[in-house]
């Protein structure tokens, strides 16, 4: 299927300079200043991260991996929209499930607050906004599960999972959901971990906290220490994504 909808559904083509920026960029070049202006990237993900999502999910459909699709930490639904579009077009028998507090991040544990990146309530986006986006696009509404992961994930995941996007940003949120999702994943299923940044593989100086979520890597690496699967890093410009394929 085509994936141009990733660029056209939302204003995600954010690195194309505006007319004003193009003008200033000309001046910068004339002055031989080695910098160029581009629009600020999105806060939740960027075009590259959504492309990674598209290709990984499409791969599980092409490989006919059984099970449903889950988006754990769906926020306002922008990634869920990509997932539902792929599923509606290619595997309409599968269900898409989306989980979030719809109130932003929970109270931070000491393990998360020490990173100094996030705070309680960060990124709050309501279920009404999520619903409106799907209605406006005329897209099938996924099953939504409002609440803290600790309350919803143990009992409200589908029995079999073919693809999971895990995007909770925090150590505790990631640590809590991984075992529940992992045990329900079918062989060949893919888990994509948003904002999994590994400085040893992709060193970037001065990368702001929101583009690296250190707690996500800690919790993920701890979980996979005694597993057969390996988490690989995918380039996503300002972001990085991790993914693993269930054996």
CA distances for 114 relative to 110, 151, 154, 215, angstroms = 6, 25, 27, 10
Is residue 94 within 8 Å of residue 73, measured between CB atoms?
no
Provide the minimum distance between the beta carbon of 133 and ligand SAM in the complex, in angstroms, as a whole number.
10
The CA distance from 127 to 130, in Å, is 5
Residue selected from 41, 142, 168, 215 as contacting ligand SAM according to rule CB under 6 A:
168
241 touching ligand SAM, by CB under 6 A: no
Residues 63-122 interacting with ligand SAM (rule: CB under 6 A):
73-75, 78-79, 100-101, 104-106
With H, G, I as helix, E, B as strand and everything else as coil, classify residue 133. Answer: helix
167 touching ligand SAM, by CB under 6 A: yes
With H, G, I as helix, E, B as strand and everything else as coil, classify residue 143. Answer: strand
Q: Sign (positive/negative) of CA torsion 158, 235, 172, 179?
A: positive
Which residue number, 149 or 244, has a Cβ lying nearer to ligand SAM? Answer: 149
The number of residues that bind ligand SAM (CB under 6 A) is 22
170 touching ligand SAM, by CB under 6 A: yes
Q: φ and ψ at 98, to 5 degrees? A: -125, 135
Residues 119-148 interacting with ligand SAM (rule: CB under 6 A):
123, 125, 148
- Please report, as ranges, the residues that interact with ligand SAM according to CB under 6 A: 44-45, 73-75, 78-79, 100-101, 104-106, 123, 125, 148-149, 167-170, 173, 194
């Amino acid at each position: 299927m085509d994936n141009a909808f990733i660029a056209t559904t939302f204003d995600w083509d954010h690195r194309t300079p505006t007319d004003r920026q193009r003008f200033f960029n000309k001046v910068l070049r004339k002055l031989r200043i080695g910098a160029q202006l581009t629009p600020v990237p999105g806060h939740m993900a960027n075009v590259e991260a959504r492309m990674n999502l598209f290709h990984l999910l499409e791969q599980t459909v092409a490989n006919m991996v059984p099970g449903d699709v889950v988006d754990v930490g769906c926020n306002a639904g922008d990634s869920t929209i990509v997932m539902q579009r792929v599923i509606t077009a290619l595997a309409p028998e599968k269900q898409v499930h989306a989980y979030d507090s719809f109130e932003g991040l929970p109270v931070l544990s000491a393990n998360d607050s020490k990173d100094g990146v996030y705070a309680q309530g960060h990124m709050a986006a309501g279920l009404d906004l999520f619903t409106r986006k799907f209605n406006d696009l005329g897209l099938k509404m996924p099953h939504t599960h409002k609440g803290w992961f600790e309350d919803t994930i143990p009992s409200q995941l589908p029995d079999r999972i073919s693809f999971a996007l895990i995007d909770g940003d925090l150590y505790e949120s990631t640590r809590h959901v991984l075992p529940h999702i992992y045990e329900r994943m079918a062989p060949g299923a893919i888990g994509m971990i948003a904002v999994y940044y590994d400085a040893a593989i992709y060193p970037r100086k001065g990368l702001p906290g929101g583009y690296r979520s250190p707690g996500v890597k800690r919790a993920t690496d701890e979980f996979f220490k005694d597993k057969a699967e390996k988490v690989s890093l995918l380039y996503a410009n300002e972001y990085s994504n991790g993914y693993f394929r269930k054996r």
